[in-house]
Amino acid sequence: MTSHARHRRPSGGRTPRTALVIAAGGATAALPILGAAAAQASPPAPAHTSTTDRAAVGSALVRAVAPAGRSVVHTVRPGESLSLIARELQATGGWKELYAENRATVGADPDLIRPGQRLLVPVGGSPTPKPAAAAPAPATTSSGTATATGTKSSTTAAPAAAMAPADTAAPSPAVAATVPATGSTPKPDGVSGSWTLAFDDEFNGTALDRTKWNTGWFGSGVTAPVSSSEQQCYDPARVSVHDGTLHLDATATSEQCGGGTKRFSSGMVTTNGLHQFTDGFFEAGIYLPAAPDGSVADWPAWWTDGQSWPADGEMDIMEGLSGSTCFHYHDPSGGPGGCANVGPGRHTFGADRENGKVTYYYDGHDVGTTSTGGVTAPQYLILNNAVGGAGGTSAPADLQVDDVRVWTRG
């Protein structure tokens, strides 16, 4: 099978992306999926995806994969009620909090739930929200996979609230608390050892920190996409910072860029020209919006790139390929990688690049390892919310980033 590049930018021009590959040579086993969704009797809420079948794995396993302050997604089965689900899954706060979390899905009557609906179930203790104001909405954990509490000060699964963009009909999801406690230093999620924080943006201001980030792809103002298969222009107007979160909005707004017209407009930030790194641990807390079918919307990505592709390498820590979350490393010899689908919602995506290899961590769990192909060149950081190409065309879709950190050993 051929490998799949997240973005190819050879010297002298852009090259269209190659065919999608869900698993390629060189990757270790992906995270397990703990069961399948029940058959839908009514359309599910687009903000959620099925993670585990309670009838198959039982409430004990649901609790085991959802540490304190996290949530799981439950697909309603015939004959169930909110009180029954809350009791069997030991939901934090009982059926009332379960209903509060899922009012937009259930509707005005908490006694009327339908088979096939997907409900966010807070389990494992009381979450601590990141300070913010506005309408509440749920946060989501990994799709049927174990999630780690990590070393961040707290993580929310209860409504906390980001400000909804003007072009988004539904309220934004809750914002995870990522600011380290006073006097503490954040550590990589999933690995031990001695680390020095080399780059950190918690997005706690009201505007993008231009000493750390640029917008667009090799240019200022509205820029062309990375490859011709994308169906959006990158517009600085789609990049905003508020409520402790970076927002990269994809909207169904046509714009002109690169000598043509694109159907969509979206946001991108990079550290190109400002910061670049070689070996280290790269991590971002990201909320992935959901497509109508419950998969990851569009073609979001958290990745790094060198100045001369592919000689300087490309590390795709997370990219949404056809609704799945995948990882790859591209160098002159190829692009091994794989997929560990954690689904939409809020997750931590990291990569430990050192000694000629990269180990990828999703929610603190090792999901695969690739070689760097001998590449030692520095790479800059990139976050973007592409539309089309190897992803879907859901818009509006708000890709949210809670924090971006890079550590070096020692």
Q: Residue 362 corresponds to which tokens in the numbers above? A: 């999703």
The gap from C-alpha 117 to its chain's centroid, in whole angstroms, comes to 23
Three-class DSSP labels, 304-354: EECCCECCCCEEEEEEEECCEEEEEEEECCECCEEECCCCCEEEEEEEEEE
> What range defines the domain where residue 112 resides?
54-123
Confirm whether 266 is domain-assigned.
yes
pLDDT in tens, 72-83: 677 777 778 888
Residue type, 249: D
Band (111; pLDDT cuts 50, 70, 90) = confident
pLDDT of residue 103: 82
Confirm whether 183 is domain-assigned.
no
CATH number reported for the structural domain that contains residue 86 in this entry: 3.10.350.10
CB-CB contact of 240 with 222 (8 Å): no
CB-CB contact of 327 with 357 (8 Å): no
- 222 and 325 inside one domain: yes
Q: Residue 271 corresponds to which tokens in the numbers above? A: 């550290």
- 320 and 405 inside one domain: yes
Confirm whether 13 is domain-assigned.
no
The number of domains in the chain is 2
Q: Say what the alpha-carbon torsion angle 178, 182, 188, 189 is, to the nearest 10 degrees.
A: -50
**Mean pLDDT, range 112-118, rounded to an integer:** 78
pLDDT in tens, 310-334: 999 999 999 999 999 999 999 998 9
pLDDT of residue 7: 53
Which helix (H) or strand (E) is 62 found in, with range?
helix 54-64
Helix (H, G, I), strand (E, B) or coil at 371: strand
**Mean pLDDT, range 370-395, rounded to an integer:** 96
Confirm whether 10 is domain-assigned.
no
pLDDT of residue 87: 78
CB-CB contact of 138 with 157 (8 Å): yes
pLDDT of residue 5: 62
Q: Say what the alpha-carbon torsion angle 373, 376, 380, 381 is, to the nearest 10 degrees.
A: 50
Average of per-residue pLDDT values in the chain: 74
Q: How far apart are CA 126 and CA 104, in angstroms?
A: 21
Ranges 173-187, 190-204, 259-273, 280-294: which has the least confidence: 173-187
Boundary residue ending a domain (93, 123, 153): 123
Band (71; pLDDT cuts 50, 70, 90) = low
Q: How far apart are CA 16 and CA 270, in angstroms?
A: 20
- 231 and 86 inside one domain: no
**Mean pLDDT, range 127-148, rounded to an integer:** 34
pLDDT of 308 higher than 90: yes
Boundary residue ending a domain (73, 97, 123): 123
Confirm whether 287 is domain-assigned.
yes
- 71 and 218 inside one domain: no
- 205 and 111 inside one domain: no
- 204 and 116 inside one domain: no
Helix (H, G, I), strand (E, B) or coil at 93: coil
Q: pTM of whole model > 0.75?
A: no
Boundary residue ending a domain (123, 141, 157): 123
Confirm whether 403 is domain-assigned.
yes
pLDDT of residue 124: 54
The gap from C-alpha 60 to its chain's centroid, in whole angstroms, comes to 27
Q: Residue 118 corresponds to which tokens in the numbers above? A: 């997907």
Q: How far apart are CA 193 and CA 120, in angstroms?
A: 35
Q: How far apart are CA 20 and CA 6, in angstroms?
A: 9
Three-class DSSP labels, 244-288: CEEEEEEECCCEEECCEEECEEECEEECCCCCCECCEEEEEEEEE
Confirm whether 145 is domain-assigned.
no
Q: Residue 198 corresponds to which tokens in the numbers above? A: 């080399």
Band (210; pLDDT cuts 50, 70, 90) = very high
Q: How far apart are CA 227 and CA 235, in angstroms?
A: 15
CB-CB contact of 52 with 63 (8 Å): no
- 105 and 206 inside one domain: no
Band (118; pLDDT cuts 50, 70, 90) = confident
Which helix (H) or strand (E) is 94 found in, with range?
helix 94-101
Confirm whether 43 is domain-assigned.
no
